[in-house]
A and B are shown apart, each in its own frame.
Chain A
Amino acid sequence: MGLLSRKDAKLITDPLADNNPITIQVLGICSALAITAQLKPSIVMAISVLFVMGVGNVVISLLRNLIPSKIRIIVQLIVVATLVIIVDQVLKAFAYSLSKELSVFIGLIITNCIIMGRFEAFALGNGPWKSFLDGIGNAAGYGLILVIVGFFRELLGSGTLFGFQVLGDPVEKTGLYAIGYENNGFMVLPPMALIVVGIIIWVQRSRNKDLIEEN
């Protein structure tokens, strides 16, 4: 037996692929569109959500028998908001330029539907360890898509990765640019994030026909 039982492992691996919060449940799209123009903010956002969801799910799960059902949504909101403010403050203290770049979107983690969704659907009914795995799994599934989208948008839109020019210098015309390649400025704009997410959904469903909904 490994570190995790098969059932526990499924809690992590399921949201990465066959039950991905973005491509299958189509949650958390707003931030996926907004911050994926570059790879670095995508990764920071993914890590932030990972922290908020992992800890948040555990807290909610520990409190699940104490939370009065009448005010459970408010309690969930307070837990998310607290964690998000902590993330925001820590970023401001240790990664100032990054926190400026992400600006309102860190605050908007509070409204990320995936988080409230997992609190309500999973953490309120399961133990802390399972909830932790579920939170990490879903956040990782979300982060994975964010990073994939960020990778393609930065590469094709700006010709860079993490700010490094990987395709050559567009001004000096070196590398790919020497043979007439141009950056696609449209990739930097939010609509292309939607199209990239659409392409990921398409690829995923054509590989696994079970995911296609019947009308």
Chain B
Amino acid sequence: MAINTDKNSYTIIFAIVMVVIVGSLLAGFANGLKPMIKANERYEKQQNILYALGVNNNEGANDVVFIGTDQVEEEFKTYITKQLVIQGDQVTEDDQAYLIDISKEENKAKKADYQRRLPLFVANLEGEELYVMPVRGKGLWDAIWGYVAVDKSMTVRGVYFDHKGETPGLGAEIKQRYFMDDFTGEKFLHGGAFKGIEVAKGNNDPKNEDKSDNEVDALAGATITGDGVSAMLRKDIKLYVPYFKTLNN
């Protein structure tokens, strides 16, 4: 018996059956692969944090090579001695602090009665205490984020930036070595007062030899992404200043 595929009832039944089959298939896949995807996301965060600290597998001058996923968990434990969560005046230790979703925290903090949780990673690099802070902001098209490693005096030791969808060849260059390396040595604190680091266009210091001007040379053709980086650093690093002041006293 041939089926009349033109009937409306047949069309509707076909659509329903199709949706049920496809839906359960995809749900099954998503569930089965979820642990692995979650693990990958975790590794990525650890790799990024370690990269900002200068713990990486870079060889050539332009390389951005992370610690391999098979070692990253161990290396993370070796270098990161403490993971702190700063909430107002309270500082607690939490070894899951690197999983805090800072964009969610930022949204929650818009309500007056919520104190934002700020993750801070304390690292021990060859005997010296370094601190890594996550930052997150807006680029031209979508989110940009990164990690900033500083020492006790809030002098930058290294950064890592990433982005979701900046223009390749222009804004996307923020994750290139020549841009990220420029930040090293810049200072967030000047005589106890916080000052951001600006990605500056009119900067007369393209080689970035002046480390006290709070400016790094901008990327050509990426003004808005660059401004986004400046704003992100200004906004997020500032939140950590009270903690660093208690450290230095």
Contact = CB atoms under 8 A, between A and B. Distances in A.
Interface of A: 37, 65-71, 74-75, 78, 82, 85-86, 89-90, 92-94, 96, 103-104, 165, 169, 171, 188-190
Interface of B is mostly: helix
B202 interface: no
26 contacts: A66-B3, A67-B5, A68-B6, A68-B10, A68-B11, A68-B14, A70-B11, A71-B11, A71-B14, A71-B15, A78-B18, A78-B19, A82-B22, A85-B29, A86-B29, A89-B30, A90-B33, A92-B40, A93-B33, A93-B36, A93-B40, A96-B43, A165-B60, A171-B62, A189-B168, A189-B169
Interface residues of B, number: 28
Contacts of B169: 188-189
Contacts of B18: 75, 78
Interface string B15-48: 1001100100110011001001100110110000
Nearest to B169: A189
Nearest to A189: B169
B6 A78 contact: no
B112 interface: no
B170 to A, nearest CB: 10
Given A92-B33, A93-B37, A188-B169, A66 B14 contact: yes
A66 B18 CA distance: 11
B88 interface: no
Contacts of A188: 169
A94 B36 contact: yes
A69 B10 CA distance: 11
Contact of A82 (B25, B37, B40): B25
B5 to A, nearest CB: 5
B26 A69 contact: no
Contacts of B22: 78, 82
A190 B14 CA distance: 42
A19 to B, nearest CB: 31
